[in-house]
Structure 1
């Protein structure tokens, strides 16, 4: 009897999860899923981190080109650091995609490609083997600069405006004993993108230097929005004790 009752409830739970999962915008869904599956594969010992990490010699001399992508997908073994990064990656990637990039999937993909390329070039000169955490900081930086009037609440200890969030996260990394090179790299790449996309085009004599290739627009942009789209409210950028926020005056 109990088994018969458990089966429908399990089916309903699966359907609810599937519905929620499909409501996540496509780029955020694809990237976070790839990160979780990569970590699961390492935990199950199907692959090892040595097959994933960023190594210019193996990439360019031995043509192991998959490392250009896989080094962005592994955030370490399952634990506090992994969960912390996944939460921030999911929240801020989704809010960017549903906020300033709403209806502009091709532009969002182009930001991923531009940021990844720039980070890979910088990665040649710094001793980092996985760049996913720096990529997350880049997303946080771009979101924070585009939402300057949102107040953040970090662990209930600090209250500040959104543009300070990347620097607060860098300080938190320092307290945990992590290298701040990761955070600085993410901040630097995020600032370059923000400057070229949001600042320079509005300067006297400035112009738009970053243009999304038409092939990306043909692939990713759809003529109309999905009516079932369920965006996260951008007024609550953290959603957790270490990242809650609200707009000033809201």
Structure 2
């Protein structure tokens, strides 16, 4: 019975969030069990171009380090904000969401080449957080019960937290930069005088991922709190109570 409940809950997770989060967890588990090593996963342009190890273009986004606080922290934020985007502003637009993944991943791969980053999963998470935060500017955030701020500040708060943990902020800055490029091209520039849409999801992606009809009985979780986690929880301005308090 418990297995069926767990399976049902798992299958209710939107498809892109479910696929990416599962891939990250399974990759980390495989490393922990010594089935594979990080040396087989990291981003290396020379090995990709010369030895045709093209899987590294994907696997470097799937490994977040050994199981520990940093891994759990990243997984919670990845799941939370990926799901909020998929059930929020990308509701019914799976192909557009996949295209954002591809666009963001391509930009990070290009930029990552110049800053010598070998794993880009954390930067990708920050990109998702950045896009969500800019699309929900009126949500008030509470971080670990210590800080209260508006959603657009969340990526910078996470960067500061990463700095306190002794991590390099280059990864966070890369995620913020790529997130801003996507947000500007998708949400800002088309609404400017003389602007237009530069990002258009290719028809083949729409054909593969978009379904013609949606389930009328589907009831998505509120965009500002899909996972029920207390880290970085939010509420919209004017709400009387703090969500998840």
| TM-score when normalising by structure 2 | 0.93
| Conserved? CA contact 2:128–2:179, under 8 Å | yes
Question: 1:52-71: CA deviations, max 9, x gaps?
Answer: 00011111111100000000
* Aligned mates of 1:248, 1:69 — CA distance in 2: 35
Choose from 45, 54, 61 the match for 1:65.
Answer: 54
| Alignment RMSD (CA, Å) | 2.6
| Conserved? CA contact 2:85–2:132, under 8 Å | yes
User: Shift of the alpha carbon at 1:128?
Assistant: 1.1
User: Shift of the alpha carbon at 1:238?
Assistant: 7.2
User: Shift of the alpha carbon at 1:180?
Assistant: 0.2
User: Shift of the alpha carbon at 1:246?
Assistant: 8.0
User: Shift of the alpha carbon at 1:233?
Assistant: 1.4
- Higher Rg: 1
* Aligned mates of 1:244, 1:107 — CA distance in 2: 31
User: Shift of the alpha carbon at 1:228?
Assistant: 5.5
User: Shift of the alpha carbon at 1:231?
Assistant: 2.1
Distance verdict in 2 for CA 1:216–1:136, change over 3 Å:
same
Runs of 4+ in structure 1 deviating by more than 4 angstroms, as ranges, are 243-250
SS in 1 for 2:115: coil
* Aligned mates of 1:236, 1:42 — CA distance in 2: 31
* Aligned mates of 2:159, 2:240 — CA distance in 1: 18
* Aligned mates of 2:140, 2:53 — CA distance in 1: 44
Question: 1:61-86: CA deviations, max 9, x gaps?
Answer: 11100000000000001110000000
User: Shift of the alpha carbon at 1:236?
Assistant: 2.9
* Aligned mates of 2:75, 2:106 — CA distance in 1: 22
Question: 1:77-116: CA deviations, max 9, x gaps?
Answer: 1110000000000000000000000000000000000000
| TM-score when normalising by structure 1 | 0.91
* Aligned mates of 1:213, 1:182 — CA distance in 2: 29
Question: 1:26-65: CA deviations, max 9, x gaps?
Answer: 0000000000000010011000000000011111111100
What does residue range 90-101 of structure 1 map to in structure 2 within 5 Å? 90-101=79-90
| Conserved? CA contact 1:141–1:163, under 8 Å | yes
* Aligned mates of 2:208, 2:226 — CA distance in 1: 29
Mean Cα deviation higher: 237-246 or 105-114 = 237-246
* 1:244 matched to 2:233: no
| Conserved? CA contact 1:103–1:221, under 8 Å | yes
SS in 1 for 2:109: helix
* Aligned mates of 1:202, 1:162 — CA distance in 2: 22
Distance verdict in 2 for CA 1:244–1:152, change over 3 Å:
farther
State the number of aligned residues. 239
Distance verdict in 2 for CA 1:223–1:178, change over 3 Å:
same
SS in 2 for 1:152: strand
